[in-house]
Amino acid sequence: EAGVAQSPRYKIIEKRQSVAFWCNPISGHATLYWYQQILGQGPKLLIQFQNNGVVDDSQLPKDRFSAERLKGVDSTLKIQPAKLEDSAVYLCASSFAGNSPLHFGNGTRLTVT
């Protein structure tokens, strides 16, 4: 089966600019996650979708971050405006349901200068 697809692979922007990341989960996977991984740290959950509804967005900085999963398939994560501390790898993951293991994409490395 095809894995979780993410794009772009790398992105460099200046602070205060906006950026968007795209994720296409494995076909049939109802649950989609966005994680932020700052260098040297473990991934931190930003938002979790079940189909096209939000299950958990408690750690999403909603003043600048937004995410959507229209039609319950692919998803977009946006940052506007970006700050220096947003420099990180953004990982997308999906799972079939319930206690199924998460499958991760290759991530997008964001550098904010």
Partner 1 sequence: AQTVTQSQPEMSVQEAETVTLSCTYDTSENNYYLFWYKQPPSRQMILVIRQEAYKQQNATENRFSVNFQKAAKSFSLKISDSQLGDTAMYFCACYNQGGKLIFGQGTELSVKP
Structure tokens belonging to residue 74: 């692919």
73: helix, strand or coil = coil
25 lies in the binding site for partner 1 (CB under 8 A): no
> Out of 24, 25, 33, 86, which residue is the one contacting partner 1 (CB under 8 A)?
33
CB 29 within 8 A of CB 15: no
- Report the residue number, 25 or 105, with the smaller CB distance to partner 1: 105
Do 26 and 1 contact (CB within 8 A), yes or no? Answer: yes
The nearest distance, CB 61 to partner 1, in angstroms, is 18
Selection from 93, 86, 104 nearest residue 34 by Cα: 93
Among 88, 107, 110, 112, binds partner 1 (CB under 8 A): 107
The residues that touch partner 1, with contacts defined as CB under 8 A, are 31, 33, 40-45, 48, 50, 55-56, 89, 91, 93, 95, 98-99, 101-107, 109
